[in-house]
Amino acid sequence: MNLHDIHTPVMLERCVELLGPALDREGAVLVDGTLGMGGHTEALLERFPGLHVIGLDRDRDALRIAADRLAPFAGRVTFVHTVYDGIADAVASTGRDRVDGILFDLGVSSLQLDEADRGFAYAQDAPLDMRMDQSAGTTAGDILATYGEGDLRRIFERYGEEKLAGRYARAIVAARAEAPIDRSGRLVDILQAATPAALKSAGHPAKRVFQALRIEVNGELGALERALPAALRLLPVGGRIVIESYQSLEDRLVKRVLADASASTAPAGLPVELPEHAPRFRLLVKGAEVASEAERARNPRAIPVRLRAAERLRDDV
């Protein structure tokens, strides 16, 4: 398996450029909060010879593959099996309380999408698993078998922003009364049958439902909501964070957290901003950056990416 062929890191050069000023020194430490198959980390280790990386991932298969890929950098990488909201404990386990850079490349990984039996891709028939950590937790099939119509509608609306959430929830409850929904192909058939003919040309009917199930199975938004403040607290003055999001729910959460961190806390009307009210972070990019047209043409998984970044200006009071 040639990892360089099957896994192309998204916006790699831009990530290196943004993180570089915080990492270009002996003894610098980066947390790759979503190590995956190690593409971003490999490039950063190559570019910055004095860098050590703490690589986190909840997927044991990804950690194993990354360890093989990063074998040439033995001694400069610490692998931690954890969800990214365990970032503070992971850093503490290495004897540190601060790191110089943090990278989050969110969403489902190339490994998970490409392994059909994981059940992430609606284009491939497979068991409805969708767990990023296959050693624990509830599967998508479990959710489809046990959630009531109201709860199914809720997650489709909230995590998939699906306008037909109620219609799809009713169809699933009716279909499971006849036979279990334990494979992605059967779920796709149910969703297609429940989609009005006039809407069938407006994108694949399974896309948003599969996204919603994946987020629910893995608790992704809750983990991200906990991880971001913990990550910001780990950065010293001059430390930098880069976050790549692939769907609007993630990006809105990232945008809000970084906006709060980079805003003044001075009361309205105060004639002079006191030092303790000054912003703790500054944004490194205007809005959210997207991949270039060339990269999107070369790597379709770069099409939805939204990149945001920030640098710490002062410590918390």
Assess if CATH 1.10.150.170 describes domain 118-218: yes
Q: What does the block give as tokens for 226?
A: 């906990």
Whole-model pTM over 0.75: yes
Strand order in the sheet with 306-312: 77-81, 52-57, 29-32, 101-105, 240-245, 306-312, 281-283
Give the residue extent of every domain in the chain: 3-105+220-312, 118-218
Q: Three-state DSSP class for 179?
A: coil
State yes or no: 159 annotated in a binding site.
Answer: no
Pairing of strands 101-105, 281-283: unpaired
If you write DSSP's letter for every residue of 248-278 in order, what string do you get? HHHHHHHHHHHHHHTS--PPTT-SS--GGGS
* 38 annotated binding-site participant: yes
The annotation status of 95 as a binding-site residue, yes or no, is no
User: 250, 241, 230: which is closest to 284 by C-alpha?
Assistant: 241
CATH class of 3-105+220-312: alpha beta
Amino acid at position 57, single letter: D
Task: Report whether 124 belongs to an annotated binding site.
Answer: no
pLDDT (tens, 9 = 90+) of the chain, 317 residues, equals 455 555 689 999 999 999 999 999 999 999 999 999 999 999 999 999 999 999 999 989 889 999 999 999 989 999 999 999 999 999 999 999 999 999 999 977 555 555 555 566 777 888 898 888 877 789 999 999 999 999 999 999 999 999 999 999 999 999 999 999 999 999 999 999 999 988 877 778 788 999 999 999 999 999 999 999 999 999 999 999 999 999 999 999 999 999 999 997 667 666 666 666 689 999 999 999 999 999 999 999 899 999 999 999 998 75
Is-contact 87 227, C-beta < 8 A? yes
